[in-house]
């Protein structure tokens, strides 16, 4: 029996009227809270852990001030926190959840299942080093740990992008062609807690962009007799996983569409997957994700002043990994330096996660630039201009075939 569910409204793609945006001085976390407000999220599952908890605090303040109307549930731990939003999503509630570091890990079971059940929960991961030792500084391993499970994953650089990406995340995740959860990662401290000037569009603009969340005949409701996730055996898992695979394969086009529409609406986020800087005539390119892009651009400008032809490329979406884009864009350079703000002990060549994935993307490509790995910035350590110089020197040497190894840790005290 098919129940009457709210009609699936398609977003209006006509060119909009011009609109005024409010400019506020916000942390990356507060920017996400504003996105949740305008996206009219139905439920927020909360549990405090630094540095993501700035989002839950900002949401709580908005609800208390009457600016936002949603269920706000503080669970007794991240495991329950992520379980409850998963279930809320299954009954048709637009859901938000977030965590950092080991908190994210505490929810691992729920995280795996959310993707398995194809539920479009949007999560903020305030990237934080994994305890022990306790450190609030940014490392990407928390979010990256779930990279195989079917979550969409994006890294943002600024408060503005945190707002934009959170809105876009709902659009992409809830698209019937995708229906996968999405993790929006914000670098701990550097983005979660630094205050930037952010433009907030009017509510109507976001409402125009985001259709209502519609599970169709998957809506978990007494009038819709379905069972979700019964026990299965070897006869079923392969096909279930194959469906996830197909959804993830459809995601890149959905992401491109969403960014195109958002760009037409706001003039922001023209590039969905890779943002390039000073790469037009570059021989060498440094690559990273998250807030590394800012010192990255400064490093590039300084190297350019010295006469080197170097650029920076920022990866925006890690899942789905935009392999075609990467190969096409980066294949034209002589040397590429992949910066990993993460580690992957024991991986091939002991390289970081991004490095390993980039190399895999290039394996079949006839145009393979020299590629080195820079591992650094761990635990919130900053990348300096001196580091930039060292990175570039290594990249040059590697490209000239002068280095025995291509994985380098920088800024390490010996």
Partner 1 sequence: MGAPTASGTASPHQNGTATTSASWSVEVVYRGIFQKRLANRISRGVVLGARKEGKVGTAFARYGDSPERNGIPAKNFAVVATDEVQLESSLARYEPESVDVSIVVDDTMCKGVESWAWYGVQPINKLVVPGGSLVVTSDKQPDELLRAVKVKPYAYNLVVVPSPVHAGVFAPEGSASFAGLWVDNDDNTDFKCLVAVARVAPQILTLDSVLDIVRERTNDEARVKAVRAIYDQIKIRHVEPGEGSTVDHEEYQKPGWTQMREGIVVEAMQVGTRNPLYKKWSTRTRRPLVNFDTCIKCTQCWLQCPDECFEVTPEGTYEVVYEACIGCSICEEVCPVPDCITMVNELAFDNNDNLYPMYASDPEGYRRFLQQHGIALHPELIDKAKKTPAVHQQPDYPSKKQKQPVVTGGEE
**Which chain residues interact with partner 1 by CB under 8 A?**
23, 25, 50, 132-133, 136-137, 189-190, 193-197, 294-295, 297-299, 301-302, 305-306, 380, 382, 384-386, 412-414
Q: In whole angstroms, how close is the CB of 398 to partner 1 at the nearest point?
A: 23
- For partner 1, the closer of residues 190 and 355 by Cβ is 190
Smallest distance, Å, CB 27 to partner 1?
8
End-to-end CA distance of the chain: 68
Q: Which is nearer to partner 1, 294 or 403 (CB)?
A: 294
CB of 278 to partner 1, least distance (A): 12
Q: What tokens appear for 35 in the block?
A: 């996105």
Q: Which element (helix H / strand E) includes 314?
A: strand 310-315
Output 21 or 23, the one with its CB closest to partner 1.
23
In three-state secondary structure terms, 404 is coil
**Nearer Cβ to partner 1, position 83 or 342?**
342
Q: Which is nearer to partner 1, 328 or 382 (CB)?
A: 382
Asked if 59 and 38 touch (Cβ cutoff 8 Å), the reply is no
- Concatenated DSSP letters of 325-377: HHHHHHTTSSEEEEEESS--TTSGGG--HHHHHHHHHHTT-S---EEEEEE--
Helices 323-330 & 353-362, crossing angle to 10 degrees?
80
- Distance in angstroms (rounded) separating the CA atoms of residues 351 and 355: 6
Task: Provide, rounded to whole angstroms, the least separation between the CB of residue 313 and partner 1.
Answer: 16
257/275 with CB nearer partner 1? 275
User: Least separation, in Å, of the C-beta of 60 and partner 1?
Assistant: 17
The helix (H) or strand (E) run that includes residue 318 is: strand 317-319
Residue 335 CB, shortest distance to partner 1, in Å, is 21
Choose between 65 and 364: whose C-beta lies nearer to partner 1: 65
Closest to 171 measured CA to CA, from 115, 255, 93: 255
Output the CA torsion sign for 346, 156, 213, 173. Answer: negative
Closest distance between partner 1 and the C-beta of residue 374, in Å?
16
């Amino acid at each position: 029996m098919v129940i009457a569910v709210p009609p699936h409204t398609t977003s209006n793609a006509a060119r909009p009227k011009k609109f005024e945006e409010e400019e506020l001085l916000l942390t990356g976390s507060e920017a996400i809270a504003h996105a949740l407000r305008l996206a009219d999220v139905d439920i927020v599952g909360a549990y405090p852990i630094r540095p993501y908890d700035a989002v839950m605090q900002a949401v709580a303040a908005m609800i208390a001030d009457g600016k936002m109307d949603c269920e706000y549930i503080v669970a007794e731990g991240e495991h329950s926190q992520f379980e409850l939003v998963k279930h809320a999503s299954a009954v048709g509630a637009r859901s938000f959840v977030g965590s950092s570091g080991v908190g994210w890990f505490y929810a691992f079971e729920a995280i795996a299942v959310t993707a398995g059940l194809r539920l479009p929960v949007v999560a903020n991961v305030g990237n934080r080093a994994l305890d022990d030792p306790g450190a609030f500084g940014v490392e990407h391993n928390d979010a990256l740990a779930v990279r195989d499970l079917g979550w969409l994953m994006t890294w943002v650089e600024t408060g503005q992008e945190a707002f934009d990406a959170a809105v876009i995340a709902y659009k992409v995740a809830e698209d019937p062609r995708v229906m996968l959860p999405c993790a929006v990662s914000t670098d701990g401290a550097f983005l979660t807690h630094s205050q930037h000037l952010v433009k907030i569009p009017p509510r109507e603009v976001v409402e125009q962009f985001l259709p209502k969340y519609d599970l169709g005949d998957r809506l978990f409701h007494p009038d819709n007799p379905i069972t979700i996730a019964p026990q299965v055996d070897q006869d079923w898992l392969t096909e279930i996983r194959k469906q996830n695979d197909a959804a993830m394969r459809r995601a890149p086009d959905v992401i491109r569409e969403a960014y195109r529409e958002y760009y037409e609406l706001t003039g922001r986020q023209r590039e969905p997957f890779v943002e390039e800087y000073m790469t037009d005539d570059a021989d060498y390119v440094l690559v990273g994700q998250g807030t590394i892009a800012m010192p990255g651009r400064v490093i590039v400008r300084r190297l350019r002043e010295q006469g080197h032809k170097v650029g920076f490329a920022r990866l925006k979406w890690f899942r789905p990994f935009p392999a075609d884009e990467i190969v096409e864009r980066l294949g034209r350079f002589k040397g590429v330096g992949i910066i990993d703000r993460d580690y992957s002990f024991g991986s091939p060549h002991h390289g970081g996660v991004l490095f390993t994935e980039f190399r895999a993307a290039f394996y079949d490509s006839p145009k393979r630039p020299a590629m080195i790995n820079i591992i650094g910035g761990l635990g919130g350590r900053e990348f300096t201009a001196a580091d930039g110089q060292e990175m570039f020197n290594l990249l040059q040497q590697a490209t000239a075939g002068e280095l025995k190894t291509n994985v380098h840790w920088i800024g390490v005290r010996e």
